[in-house]
């Protein structure tokens, strides 16, 4: 890779922001897909829940892209590998272990199970850690840890066997679908979404885009009016295919939920896989478009949201869980229920962002629970900002009396 490809990509924060917004939509509307099935606006809830289901695959795609973008052209040494694992243990694995304990405590408390024998509680905790089930969203962190374990091996293979790099997407799809078929017809592991192979295609897609970033960079950096015919055709086909597949995915789920007529699970899996892979590429381009056209205030909000996305991902279910208890306070018609659902989404997003930003600013040890502190909120950044401000101030020359 040349030096141009190693430039910092601030657009990735906008990608993270769009991905976390997708995650919040799915989690906020999950109950509505069950509770509101008999309402006149059920299609809206079904649409929001499924069209935004790109969040987790998009984060996996981006995580892989960042890893291969930063490491692919660097010599693979023991020092590099040890540094890689040290960062992931400190900023991913440790927060996962601690936040899992908090969620499991909350779950057992709400179910009145904290009085169980300590050995049973410890067993539940260990089981939750090794299955990503302390809370419904933590499977993402668990599979990320699995990918981090695989990363050095994949890096060596793709660096030394360039044919594997060229065929990375096909290999990813083959591995993922081999796991899907094996699990469905033989292994039958209930929490298959907690196994990294369920997302292997996204991992390899991210690796492919990173390794061959030069042509992708030309594509995402070029305005529509400046694109040649081939780039315009590729872009149009991508976005139209993404929209069509997403709408088909929404429709098949809507029909099944309304009629209780269900197809083979592989059809739902296939549509989700195609839609979310296309979503990763669409979001990737969209992040660069946002960077070009969005007002500065929007960019600032999205940038901060992207910087905080991992911490927001970890804590937002706490807020949603408490918010859902307020449902019993109201008698809600369809429109009021929609407003209540969306208010919970916005509240969870805003309060999570404010909370983790406050903790990052005030407590230097907050990384233990929430992951790496964004540079813009770190003490090093504030110190450097103060130094720049002091350098800009004019020096006062003290005159002596004649």
Give 360's pLDDT tier (boundaries 50, 70, 90): very high
CB within 8 Å of 122: residues ≥ 6 apart:
none
Number of domains in the chain: 1
- Which residues form the domain of 123? 3-300
For 333, the enclosing helix (H) or strand (E) is: none
For 395, the enclosing helix (H) or strand (E) is: none
Q: Which residue has the tokens 């800009």?
A: 392
Query: With contact defined as beta carbons under 8 Å apart, do 27 and 52 qualify?
Result: no
- 292 belongs to a structural domain: yes
- Tell me: pLDDT of 387 over 80: no
Joined together, the tokens standing for residue 61 give 């795609």
The DSSP code for 31 is T
- 270 belongs to a structural domain: yes
Query: With contact defined as beta carbons under 8 Å apart, do 299 and 291 qualify?
Result: yes
- 372 belongs to a structural domain: no
* Rounded-to-integer distance, Cα 193 and Cα 140, Å: 9
* SS3 state of residue 20: helix
Q: Which residue has the tokens 């904290």?
A: 114
- 349 belongs to a structural domain: no
Q: What is the pLDDT of residues 60-76, one digit of tens each?
A: 999 999 999 999 999 98
Over range 382-396, report the average pLDDT.
Answer: 61
- 83 belongs to a structural domain: yes
Q: Which of 282, 69, 262, 277 lies closest to 176, judged by CA?
A: 277
Query: With contact defined as beta carbons under 8 Å apart, do 196 and 153 qualify?
Result: no
For 22, counting Cβ atoms within 10 Å of its Cβ (0-12 exposed, 13-18 middle, 19+ buried), the class is buried
Give 233's pLDDT tier (boundaries 50, 70, 90): very high
* Rounded-to-integer distance, Cα 179 and Cα 170, Å: 14
Does 162 or 382 have the greater pLDDT score? 162
- Tell me: pLDDT of 401 over 60: no
Q: What pLDDT does 383 receive? A: 62
Over range 35-56, report the average pLDDT.
Answer: 95
Query: With contact defined as beta carbons under 8 Å apart, do 144 and 63 qualify?
Result: yes
Q: What pLDDT does 385 receive? A: 62
Q: What pLDDT does 7 receive? A: 78
Supply the DSSP string of 329-395, one letter for each residue.
G----HHHHHHHHHHHHHHHHHHHHHHHHHHHHH-TTTHHHH-SPPGGGSHHHHHHHHHHHHHHSPP
Query: With contact defined as beta carbons under 8 Å apart, do 318 and 312 qualify?
Result: no
Query: With contact defined as beta carbons under 8 Å apart, do 224 and 235 qualify?
Result: yes
Joined together, the tokens standing for residue 10 give 């601030």
Supply the DSSP string of 284-317, one letter for each residue.
HHHHHHHHHHS-HHHHHHHHHHHHTHHHHHHHHH
The region that residue 132 occupies, defined by phi over 0 for left and psi between -120 and 50 for alpha, beta otherwise, is left
- 367 belongs to a structural domain: no
Q: What is the pLDDT of residues 10-41, one digit of tens each?
A: 999 999 999 999 999 999 999 999 999 999 99
Q: What pLDDT does 270 receive? A: 98
- 365 belongs to a structural domain: no
- 174 belongs to a structural domain: yes
């Amino acid at each position: 890779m040349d030096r141009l490809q190693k430039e910092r990509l601030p657009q990735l924060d906008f990608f993270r922001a769009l991905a976390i917004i997708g995650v919040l939509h799915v989690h906020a509307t999950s109950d509505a897909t069950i509770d509101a099935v008999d309402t006149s606006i059920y299609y809206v809830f079904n649409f929001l829940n499924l069209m935004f289901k790109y969040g987790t695959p998009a984060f996996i795609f981006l995580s892989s892209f960042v890893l291969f973008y930063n490491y692919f052209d660097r010599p693979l040494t023991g020092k590099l590998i040890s540094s890689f694992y040290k960062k992931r243990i400190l900023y991913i694995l440790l927060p996962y272990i601690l936040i899992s304990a908090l969620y499991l405590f909350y779950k057992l408390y709400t179910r009145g199970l904290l009085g169980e024998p300590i050995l049973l509680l410890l067993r539940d905790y260990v089981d939750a850690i090794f299955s990503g089930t302390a809370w419904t969203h933590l499977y993402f962190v668990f599979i990320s840890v699995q990918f981090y374990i695989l990363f050095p091996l994949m890096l060596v293979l793709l660096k030394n066997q360039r044919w594997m790099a060229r065929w990375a997407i096909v290999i990813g799809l083959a591995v993922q679908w081999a796991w899907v078929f094996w699990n469905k017809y033989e292994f039958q592991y209930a929490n298959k979404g907690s196994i990294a192979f369920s997302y292997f295609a996204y991992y390899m897609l991210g690796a492919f885009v990173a390794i061959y970033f030069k042509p992708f960079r030309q594509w995402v950096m070029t305005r529509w009016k400046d694109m040649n015919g081939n780039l315009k055709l590729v872009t149009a086909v991508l976005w139209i295919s993404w929209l069509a597949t997403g709408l088909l995915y929404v429709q098949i789920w809507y029909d099944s939920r309304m009629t209780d007529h269900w197809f083979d699970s592989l059809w739902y899996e296939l549509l989700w896989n195609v839609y979310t892979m296309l979503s990763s590429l669409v979001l990737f381009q969209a992040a660069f478009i946002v960077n070009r056209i969005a007002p500065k205030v929007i960019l600032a909000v999205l940038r901060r949201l992207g910087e905080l996305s991992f911490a927001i991902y970890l804590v937002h279910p706490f807020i949603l869980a408490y918010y859902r208890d307020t449902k019993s306070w109201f008698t809600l018609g369809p429109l009021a229920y929609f407003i209540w659902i969306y208010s919970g989404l916005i509240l969870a997003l805003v309060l999570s962002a404010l909370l983790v930003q406050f903790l990052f600013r005030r407590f230097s040890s907050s990384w233990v629970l929430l992951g790496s502190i964004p540079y813009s909120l770190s003490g090093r950044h504030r110190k450097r900002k103060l130094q720049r401000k002091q350098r800009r101030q004019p020096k006062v020359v003290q005159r002596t009396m004649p």
